[in-house]
Chain A
């Protein structure tokens, strides 16, 4: 197929349909709404299930139902919607059925705004819902990547009987880029043997997340954790840019990573030995790769569109072996290449120790900058 100019949300939605999506349940919310609108246009025409639910709470529980029936079901929303889905997500995880959830992130907390943000990283990675469960989280950074990883999301969800969250920001959802859609996947795979489809010619199936005896719940928690550990072994994905023996390592995901790639390119032009690691799976996080890089680089700069959430996972992995600095823009502000370039320049000159929270210095810098603005 030739490339078309595709709008993120619509492309993701179409990719899901072609990956064999059976049912979409959602509720409109900027900047994810075109996702739902595309489903509304396409699914009824091809006889698959679409409902604009009364709320995100209802939507996720419809997904829960369809998933229990062994079908490929998904929803797409933004931060506030994910918060309302937290209980349902925890139930799906606890019932060990597959589901795919897309979060097109916007500025928060609260109502915040509808501008692109990465402030839902914690919520996605640490699990916004209650109890011990571990969603897989994918963070594509181009429309083409998103198209490819939406299909992967379903495969992973089914392989690990897990919730898979696709985490993009409003830029990704709203932008148009040339990209290629996969062909329509042939439908009607047999329902998995655990699905509820009516107990005909087989033992009945019961799907629940209740284990009233703590001992049973403990075994369940352990089973879920072990599956997660498997994923940690097999499913780590990331992309690297200008990684010719770098002295400085920039780490960023999604749009932040993509913008950083421009800055890194420009910095290389200036002769700064800097490379970029862009995690595509945020959970599992590319820990092993980062550990390797710790032996090569002199300093690390983490760039995010939040107050430093992935930073936690970086620090946990780096274990103080390399100084880590942070640069973040907040509340819906997308950093621009020149800012990040300035940061790279600064970091490449900075030989100082980093003690305490790397965010302390950044907060001062950002504040000065904002004062500058004002």
Chain B
């Protein structure tokens, strides 16, 4: 029993450093763990949960993000918006197999992994990643690699060329996503430094959030922005998408325990609480400032909460998560409704406000609210103020690297094939001009 406990603790420590995704998760079936040197064995329960998690994280992008975003654009661009998420899902799946997984998760330098697993060559049916098949781990991580660039598309919605979008996303995935992922989860320098990121606050949300901001600035405002009515065309779709995001996020956060255990359970519970808190916070802010609580508001708040609790999920307790949610809901509301108009950029669907600011808020608050008894690391409230600085370090590195690399990529693509559709196309709608299809 003691041995088991120790291994368990050790595994949590490992998680703290190499993150939950890390391949070397604890052997969770105690009865089987007699000696410290026994090789890890497949656990069918952990595997079952990770198969499920993979499926529902995929659901987050198709149709989750697709609909969440699709409902917010104008009708003439709905299919284009859906198409972006769907095509990204396809493109990244192939790229992840070709090189992404290898760059993100095989031993390499301190910033990027090696090329040894390109094309997943040599993968065997009984290769394990902790207690689950490596094939499952690869596919689970693939769904994260898919959703991250899909999130960015909200920033340049309704005006980017489809071809340019494909080039950008493909390159970004290899040049930005894979290294950041490796640095935090794959054995790279951020994870080693002790930056906490349970399920992707840094890797997924800050990363896509800052890329979105840069993209919005580089590509410029939509024609008519600020002058004409550019309102969401069908919030029913947005509610469906937001709901699927919520449900799928259980796979995202609780799945990041890479096991069906108490950590996964706690991650699910705090995810639910933070999300609810953030949604109510955004709704209340809106009710007070604009007199009316809106559907778009409460759903946006929920997503803000999901984002903010992502880095924290395996480290905080229910009360902590409630605070994280309420704070994140308020911050993101402020970002979308005050900061953005103030600064005047057209981050069309508020990717920066929700994922960027939400991610930053969550990353920092993870350093504040982390509870040793839950995830093995104390946060500021338990006297470990240094964790907050570590978190800020992780945030800064991601902001700087992703921001600059995104800028360069976009500028290069713009120079070579052009990023943006012409004004006439924007007027008529990208659905018709780019894809030859419309929704009447």
A-B complex is real: no
**Chain A interface residues (CB < 8 Å from chain B):** none
**Chain B interface residues (CB < 8 Å from chain A):** none
